[in-house]
Structure 1
Amino acid sequence: MSRIRQNGTGGAAWFDDAAGPVVRPYALTGGRTQYDSDVLDLVALIIAEEPRPDGGEGQGGLGHGTGGWAPEPEHETILELCRTPLSVVEIASELELALGVVRVLLGDLLDHSLVSVRRPAPVAQFPSERVLKEVIDGIRAL
């Protein structure tokens, strides 16, 4: 059961008896609702980049607070999950977050070169009608 409780600063906070504090999805994304790129579709594979030896941003270092950007715990969880390639939809399922929220979080990581995106192999093209007719003719000739 969710309810409002007074927090220590005199304000109210939402709590779920089983889960603790409830955070609205837009709070995780700073109010952003989408990532401005088409690369993060449902089946795109996300791979965490290896950390740099110097621990700097790019190539996997989280670079806490550098460049005006501080990663959220959800960013760190995504990087942990993506040590093995996962699709966007699998990440959303693991985090139990909406796809839009996950895309925004992934966009942050992508913008800071902490993850890479790999498109799945395209579905093989069907052979042309001419090729199929030649195969059928060849089979009949046997």
Structure 2
Amino acid sequence: MTAAGDGPWLDDAAGRLVRPFTVSNGRTRPTVALDLMSQLMATGATPLGYLGPEHAQALDLCRAPVPVAEVAAHLKLPVAVTKVLLADLVDCGALTTKPPAFHHNPTDRALLEAVLDGLRRQL
């Protein structure tokens, strides 16, 4: 029995009916360097050839800039699989990617203080 909104590939009792790496045809390495915070955005170009439903979902999620980690969470797939799917979309020109703003200095003091300040406001 499927849960509402989960589609035919999820089952309440059994869980996911298709192994995650089946979605990427067993591929584990993306052709494009992506990290969890890499930003992706749809270009508006229509991908040529067949793309699976997960590709279409990922493309739909990337209408506005979104990080890899968020796409993986929405797709409910491991990040490694999501990176392969996203790299397919980058390769065919349907997505663009850019590294996160702190790519060259991930321990930038101003960035860390801004994150800390945001966390304090949430508590």
Same-fold call, TM cutoff 0.5:
yes
The alpha-carbon distance between structure 1 residues 81 and 19, as it changes in their structure 2 partners (threshold 3 A), is: farther
1:25 aligned to 20, 23, 38, which one? 20
1:91 aligned to 47, 65, 71, which one? 71
Indicate the residue corresponding to 1:74 in structure 2.
54
- Residue 32 of structure 1: SS of its match in structure 2? coil
TM-score normalised by the chain length of structure 1? 0.61
Unaligned stretches of 5+ in structure 1?
2-13, 51-59, 127-142
Say which one has the larger Rg: 1
Deviation at 1:20, TM superposition (A): 8.0
Residue 45 of structure 1 pairs with residue 39 of structure 2:
yes
Deviation at 1:125, TM superposition (A): 6.0
| Runs of 4+ with >3 A deviation | 17-21, 123-126
Q: Deviations over 1:63-106 (max 9, x none)?
A: 2x2xxxx1111111111110011100000011110000000001
* Higher share in strand: 1
Deviation at 1:43, TM superposition (A): 0.4
- C-alpha distance in 1 between matches for 2:108 and 2:89: 33
Mapping of residues 119-134 of structure 1, within 5 Å: 119-122=99-102
TM-score normalised by the chain length of structure 2? 0.69
- C-alpha distance in 2 between matches for 1:34 and 1:120: 20
Deviation at 1:118, TM superposition (A): 1.6
Contact 2:47 2:93 in 1 (8 A): no
Percent identity between the two aligned chains = 40
Q: CA RMSD in A?
A: 2.7
Indicate the residue corresponding to 1:7 in structure 2.
none
- Residue 89 of structure 2: SS of its match in structure 1? helix
Give, as a single letter, the amino acid of the residue that structure 2 aligns with 1:35: P
- C-alpha distance in 2 between matches for 1:71 and 1:117: 19
- C-alpha distance in 2 between matches for 1:120 and 1:21: 31
- Residue 47 of structure 1: SS of its match in structure 2? strand
Unaligned stretches of 5+ in structure 2?
2-8, 110-123
